[in-house]
């Protein structure tokens, strides 16, 4: 990584200046009352994405100081390192080249002796070949029937990415093939699904970078047993079932082969692809099956357009840079420790879950690149829900609770193209847009959002809205594969900006490893009747489970 001229980011004068600015009283109502041109200055657009961040607790001085801090942290150099395949994942000593997954075929990116772009497009051709066989009905199961259902078995990024994108873009589906997603280790998802599927016409995609993930492989083993129970009636062998009903996606070809995945049905990942950044790779096969390769390539093109913007736009108009700097300002300097994502579009229902992993697994860190403990706040707790549902769930806390929460509102300007045919649906879309804008307004200004409300609330304190909850609103011209790709890449790069300022590594996830290792030890204890040697709480819980199982 790039060297800095100071020992810690906190040693910089920009950091000190931002700390002093954060101590000032911030009132969104006052900021808007004092500045009629505020919205024009605190908004930006790139392609189909329009971002209004005027309802953040900032002014021109804060924005300039944040941009100066980014320059002090050598953000431009760090962006170049990311894009060019440098070792930005320092703890695992590798690149993080998710941006290479959406480079056009004409590009060249040399990492060591390897042209990464050539490898990527070879893999995409394999995705196209396999997805077309499924979509065209030429892929046959063990009884000779065409595949009708595809089940993606994965967890984390191998599940959340394809699930989120396939759901958001389902109106682009041009096939009768139904795509399902399974991730839960306990088998409940798979059990419910298998009761409705036909073993003769079901294909499973096993998505696991290491091909060792116990969650994924336990589901895959159950799926294989289910298939074999029916295949034996047709004299089908395990070898034929594995060949006709399983595709593997992994960076570990040896493990795929050992499990029984046929070499022609193995799709390649690379060590430099993190799971939560992998939907652009062969992990996106389920998306390509559902919407077709043409639209999948549009998804990649949209992400690439945001990559180009991120790498080249001035920081003052750079959407990912601004979004990331605002997040640093809120979490580190204003000490707002919760952030919620609120899409006012049902198609984006899985986006909050996707971003929960993307941001908290990436930036939930407390150690710098050089191994020193940070003494400032990093990633906030993130959650979210479709806005109209969230209004009836946790908006009470946002409006009248004691917690400060920053918010991202996301909405699509256009949805139903045929307004005459879809008049009722268009009406509902406009209601949703109105709620999106109304909620961000009330969160910002509280009772002052509605004339005379303040007077009425003097007599009824239960109806007081304090306001001053900061938010950003992202408007998408229209949800398409291209604009969705740009939106996801926007948040990926936001994460990198935050990590660059905090001097942490957003590409490892050591925090999830020890729990998985301990689970294996506990599992072994669960199979035995002897006394366990854990803490008294765990020992007592194990004893209770043994008693009742």
Using an 8 Å Cβ cutoff, are 259 and 445 in contact? no
Using an 8 Å Cβ cutoff, are 410 and 344 in contact? yes
> What are the C-alpha distances in Å from 205 to residues 145, 151, 220, 292, 513?
18, 6, 9, 16, 24
Q: Is 221 among the residues known to form the active site?
A: no
The neighbour count for residue 480, using CB atoms within 10 Å, is: 20
> Sign of torsion, CA 316 320 323 324?
negative
Write out the two tokens for 531: 């006394």
Write out the two tokens for 260: 């029984």
CA distance 293 to 298: 9
Q: Which of 200, 361, 385, 492 is catalytic?
A: 361
CA distance 473 to 409: 5
Nearest 5°: phi and psi at 79? -65, -45
Using an 8 Å Cβ cutoff, are 506 and 367 in contact? no
Strand segments, DSSP code E, in 435-526 are: 471-478
Q: Is 516 among the residues known to form the active site?
A: yes
Nearest 5°: phi and psi at 41? -80, -30
Burial class (CB in 10 A: 0-12, 13-18, 19+), 422: middle
Q: Residue 317: which residues within 8 A CB-CB, separation 6 or more? A: 44
CA distance 383 to 340: 5
The neighbour count for residue 466, using CB atoms within 10 Å, is: 14
Reported as type and span, the H/E element at residue 61 is helix 60-72
Q: Which of 221, 372, 516, 544 is catalytic?
A: 516
Using an 8 Å Cβ cutoff, are 245 and 231 in contact? no
3-state secondary structure of 342: strand
Nearest 5°: phi and psi at 138? -90, -10
Q: Where does 136-252 have alpha helices with state H?
A: 157-168, 188-194, 214-231, 238-245
Using an 8 Å Cβ cutoff, are 172 and 298 in contact? no
What's the N-to-C CA distance of the chain in angstroms?
52
Using an 8 Å Cβ cutoff, are 317 and 44 in contact? yes
Q: Is 121 among the residues known to form the active site?
A: no
Q: Which of 93, 113, 254, 392 is catalytic?
A: 392
The neighbour count for residue 530, using CB atoms within 10 Å, is: 6
Residues known to be catalytic: 361, 392, 516
């Amino acid at each position: 990584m790039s060297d800095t001229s100071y020992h810690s980011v906190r040693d910089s004068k920009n950091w000190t200046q931002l700390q002093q600015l954060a101590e000032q009283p911030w009132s969104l109502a006052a900021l808007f009352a004092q500045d009629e041109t505020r919205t024009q200055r605190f908004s930006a657009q790139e392609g189909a994405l329009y971002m209004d961040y005027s309802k953040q607790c900032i002014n021109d001085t804060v924005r300039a100081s944040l941009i100066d801090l980014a320059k002090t942290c050598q953000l431009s150099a760090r962006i170049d390192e990311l894009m060019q395949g440098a070792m930005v994942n320092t703890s695992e000593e590798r690149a993080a080249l998710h941006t290479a997954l959406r480079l056009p075929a004409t590009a060249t990116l040399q990492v060591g002796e390897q042209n990464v772009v050539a490898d990527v497009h070879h893999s995409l051709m394999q995705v196209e070949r396999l997805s077309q066989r499924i979509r065209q009905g030429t892929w046959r199961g063990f009884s000779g029937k065409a595949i009708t259902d595809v089940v993606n078995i994965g967890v984390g990024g191998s599940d959340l990415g394809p699930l989120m994108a396939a759901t958001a873009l389902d109106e682009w589906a041009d096939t009768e093939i139904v795509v399902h997603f399974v991730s839960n280790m306990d088998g409940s998802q798979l059990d419910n699904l298998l009761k409705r599927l036909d073993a003769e016409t079901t294909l499973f995609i096993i998505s696991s970078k290491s091909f060792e993930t116990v969650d994924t492989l336990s589901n895959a083993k159950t799926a294989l047993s289910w298939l074999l129970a029916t295949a034996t009636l047709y004299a089908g062998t395990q070898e034929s079932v594995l060949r006709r009903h399983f595709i593997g996606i992994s960076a570990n070809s040896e493990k795929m082969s050992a499990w029984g995945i046929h070499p022609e049905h193995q799709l390649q990942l690379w060590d430099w692809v993190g799971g939560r950044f992998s939907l652009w790779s062969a992990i996106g096969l389920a998306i390509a099956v559902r919407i077709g390769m043409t639209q999948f390539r549009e998804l990649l093109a949209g992400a690439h357009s945001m990559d180009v913007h991120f790498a080249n736009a001035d920081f003052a108009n750079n959407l990912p840079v601004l979004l990331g700097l605002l997040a640093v300002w809120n979490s580190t300097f204003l000490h707002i420790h919760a952030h919620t994502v609120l899409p006012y579009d049902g198609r984006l229902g899985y986006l909050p879950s996707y971003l929960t992993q993307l941001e908290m697994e990436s930036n939930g860190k407390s150690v710098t690149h050089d191994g020193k403990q940070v003494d400032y706040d990093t990633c906030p707790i993130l959650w979210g829900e479709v806005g109209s549902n969230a209004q009836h769930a946790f908006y009470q806390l946002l409006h009248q609770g004691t917690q400060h929460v920053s918010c991202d509102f996301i909405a699509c300007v256009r949805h139903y193209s045929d307004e005459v045919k879809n008049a009722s649906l268009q009406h509902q879309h406009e209601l949703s847009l109105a709620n999106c804008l109304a909620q961000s307004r009330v969160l910002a200004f509280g009772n002052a959002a509605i004339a005379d409300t303040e007077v009425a609330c003097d007599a009824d304190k239960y109806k007081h809205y304090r306001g001053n909850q900061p938010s950003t609103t992202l408007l998408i011209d229209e949800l398409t594969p291209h604009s969705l790709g740009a939106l996801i890449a926007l948040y990926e790069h936001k994460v990198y900006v935050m990590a660059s300022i905090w001097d942490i590594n957003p590409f490892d996830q050591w925090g999830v490893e020890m729990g998985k290792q301990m689970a294996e030890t506990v599992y072994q204890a669960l199979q035995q009747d002897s006394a366990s040697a854990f803490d008294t709480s765990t020992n007592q819980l194990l004893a209770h489970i043994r008693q009742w199982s």
